[in-house]
Amino acid sequence: MSLADQIAAWIKEQVAQAGVQGGVVGLSGGIDSAVVAGLATRALGPERVTAAILPAHSNPQDVEHAKLAAAAFGLEPLVIDLSRAYDVLRETLPPGSEMADANIKPRLRMIALYHLANTRNALVIGTGNKSEEMVGYFTKYGDGGVDILPIGGLYKHQVVALAREIGVPEPIITKPPSAGLWAGQTDEQEMGITYDELDAILAAIERGDTTGFPPDRVARVERMIATSEHKRRLPPIFEPASAEARR
Ligand SMILES: Nc1ncnc2c1ncn2[C@@H]1O[C@H](COP(=O)(O)OP(=O)(O)OC[C@H]2O[C@@H]([n+]3cccc(C(=O)O)c3)[C@H](O)[C@@H]2O)[C@@H](O)[C@H]1O
Ligand SMILES: Nc1ncnc2c1ncn2[C@@H]1O[C@H](COP(=O)(O)OP(=O)(O)OP(=O)(O)O)[C@@H](O)[C@H]1O
Ligand SMILES: [Mg+2]
């Protein structure tokens, strides 16, 4: 069975196990969400996949690419503009750091996706890949707030190969990965490392042999992994020491 078919079978099984009707995917115009939408459609059929395009002062070209991805897999996307909701929250909250404000966008998308999932009796299908998950390159409870992660076990370069295999439109595959949180943002620039280098170092760390890689670059990636550990765990819970204290 091809990797695409294996992941599709897994998605189908997750949906069946959860006893729900389908899946909801946020379509950004980027490669990860295009791949996940394609795999979800392969698993469930287009009528059981809700593809939501959720711009929040987003680049109009991204919206066009999201529509292109939806069309490639026979999906009729919902377009829900979150710009006004973003503005209201931004004006309601006290002044925040640039990152705090940027993180409002993925967190609003999480609210929108769960609203659709609640209503349609569906799972929120996340789009995080292994490279992003390992270094914590996502917003906690924003794009990180999902029910299942079908490509969470694939490095970015594996997602790119899978995209070609399942027919993601080429302009979506070749443009630089971006979180789209501010104009001109790219993943590689913000992280300070290319996906080629990141994937190679992550794989070396995983197999326990980083021989041949510059020690400072390995140390940097190890730091990214360590400082984002909290994003991959459930919140720590305080447990009272004795049974008596619990009464
Ligand atoms: N040790 C610890 N134990 C428990 N919790 C801890 C913690 N350290 C921080 N925290 C909490 O985590 C918060 C920081 O995490 P978070 O709120 O996520 O914020 P943060 O990691 O600072 O920002 C999100 C990053 O993900 C990137 N991103 C976001 C969305 C999409 C994509 C994409 O690739 O498309 C990328 C974004 O560009 C940015 O670099 C802290 O404010 C604190 O509440
Ligand atoms: N405008 C948007 N509308 C709907 N969902 C979005 C939007 N922007 C981001 N998302 C969701 O957040 C996820 C995280 O973004 P991320 O940039 O990591 O993935 P991507 O855009 O699919 O691919 P790439 O990493 O190549 O940009 C997206 O995959 C998508 O599910
Ligand atoms: Mg993106």
Which fold would CATH assign to domain 3-175? Rossmann fold (3.40.50)
User: Whose atoms come closest to the Cα of 181: which ligand?
Assistant: 1
Cα(43) to centroid(ligand 3), Å: 23
Tens of pLDDT, residues 104-149: 999 999 999 999 999 999 999 999 999 999 999 999 999 999 999 9
State the average pLDDT over residues 17-23: 98
In percent, how much of the chain has pLDDT > 90?
Answer: 98
Active site amino acids: 32, 132
Sorting pLDDT into bands at 50, 70 and 90, what band is 100? Answer: very high
Q: How confident is the model at residue 245 (pLDDT cuts 50, 70, 90)?
A: low
**Rounded CA gap, 224 and 201, in Å?**
12
According to the model, what pLDDT value does residue 242 have?
81
Residue 246 predicted with pLDDT over 80: no
Q: Which amino acid would we find at residue 155? A: Y
Residue 29 CA to ligand 3 center (angstroms) comes to 7
pLDDT of residue 218: 98
**What is the overall mean pLDDT for the chain?**
97
Q: Has 175 been labeled as part of a binding site? A: no
pLDDT of 247 reads 65
pLDDT at 37 over 80: yes
What percentage of the chain has pLDDT greater than the value 70?
A: 98
Q: Is 31 labeled as ligand-binding?
A: yes
Query: Tens digits of per-residue pLDDT, 199-236?
Result: 999 999 999 999 999 999 999 999 999 999 999 999 99
User: In three state form, how does the secondary structure of the chain look?
Assistant: CCHHHHHHHHHHHHHHHHCCCEEEEECCCCHHHHHHHHHHHHHHCHHHEEEEECCCCCCHHHHHHHHHHHHHCCCCCEECCCHHHHHHHHHHCCCCCHHHHHHHHHHHHHHHHHHHHHHHCEEEECCCCHHHHHHCCCCCCCCCCCCECCCCCCCHHHHHHHHHHHCCCHHHHHCCCCCCCCCCCCHHHHHCCCHHHHHHHHHHHHHCCCCCCCHHHHHHHHHHHHHCHHHHCCCCCCCCCCHHHHC
- Closest C-alpha to ligand 2, atom 10: 28
So where are the chain's domains? 3-175
Q: Write down the ipTM of this complex.
A: 0.99
Once rounded to an integer, what is the mean pLDDT over residues 69-97?
98
